[in-house]
Structure 1
Amino acid sequence: MKWNWGTGIVVGMVAFMAFILYMVITMSTNKKFSYDLVTEEYYAKEMAYQTEIDAETNINDLSGQFEGKKTKDGWLLTFPNEIEASKVKGKVFLYRPSNQKLDFDLPLVLSGSNLLIPDNKLIGGRWNITIEFEQNGTEYLYKKSITY
């Protein structure tokens, strides 16, 4: 067989394709390389997206704003004065983008107009807080990205 430029280019392309194929198979089958979906029920959540938009609009219609700050006891979130603690029912979900195993949720329990997320639940880094609650039949949705 005669070795020329055409043969070299073909051999190089075949070697490159074999390398890429090897990497794809290794990354998709090896358990050491984990990849997490953002959410497990992606399509089901997509169908309920308009409800989320309406709930976020209800948050924006409030006259006050949510204020969050880091304290020695954890993350303190102050609700607007319009939100009455006795009439609120809901839950708090904390999502850690870098590690799905750190995600957790809590029932929404207000003391006055404050919500304290305990320090022992939070690890330093980025968190996404989602609070879904209802007051007097109106649904609200608060989303915020924080760095703890």
Structure 2
Amino acid sequence: MKLKFNWGMGIVLAFVLFISYIMYFIITVSTDKSFDVEMVTEDYYKQELGYQKDINTLSLTKSMNMDVVFEKVDEGLLVQFPKKIKPGLVKGSMFLYRPSDKHMDFEIPISLSDSHLLIPNNRLKDGRWNITVKWDYINQSYLTKEQITF
């Protein structure tokens, strides 16, 4: 019995090859660890509930000119708080989030003796960082969010 190649056979063969390629792609992506996709944060839905509060705090921070300013210097990242504050009254934390690698994320408690804070070069690898500074000063909360490339 001799098999004859015709249009119908070509179409069936094209479908089989296409479906085989799609199945190979799906299996490769689902089993290979290099294709793992992580959520931006582990407790995304919990953070979403406090989003409006963050918007209000960000707005208050801007309206009162209490923004924190970031500057790259030779020693590292200089975090400058407003000059008009008394540094000893500031309490809070700074969270540095690295979108490309969650193992590089870290949090620093804020304890000021001057109006600035220095994060040394060895703590920050080159690339993009999302920084969130939440701090309280005289019973008022402030928030600054910034994206920097170090």
TM-score by length of structure 2 reads 0.86
1:18-51, Cα deviation, whole Å (9 max, x unpaired): 2122212221222343322211111111111111
Partner of 1:35: 37
Partner of 1:63: 65
Deviation at 1:102, TM superposition (A): 0.9
Partner of 2:130: 128
Partner of 1:145: 147
Does structure 2 retain, via aligned residues, the 8 Å contact 1:64–1:81? no
Aligned length: 148
**Amino acid in the other structure paired with 2:109:** P
Where do 1:32-111 residues align within 5 Å? 32-63=34-65, 65-111=67-113
Deviation at 1:64, TM superposition (A): 5.4
Does structure 2 retain, via aligned residues, the 8 Å contact 1:130–1:141? yes
SS, match of residue 143 in structure 2: strand
**Partner Cα separation in structure 2 for residue 142 and residue 64 of structure 1:** 9
What fraction of aligned residue pairs are identical, expressed as a percent? 43
1:10 to 1:85, Cα distance in 2 relative to 1, 3 A: farther
**Amino acid in the other structure paired with 1:85:** P
1:5 to 1:77, Cα distance in 2 relative to 1, 3 A: same
Bigger radius of gyration: 2
**Partner Cα separation in structure 1 for residue 66 and residue 47 of structure 2:** 28
1:109 to 1:6, Cα distance in 2 relative to 1, 3 A: farther
Unaligned runs of 5+ in 2: none
Does structure 2 retain, via aligned residues, the 8 Å contact 1:62–1:80? no
Q: Once superposed, what is the RMSD of the aligned Cα atoms?
A: 1.9
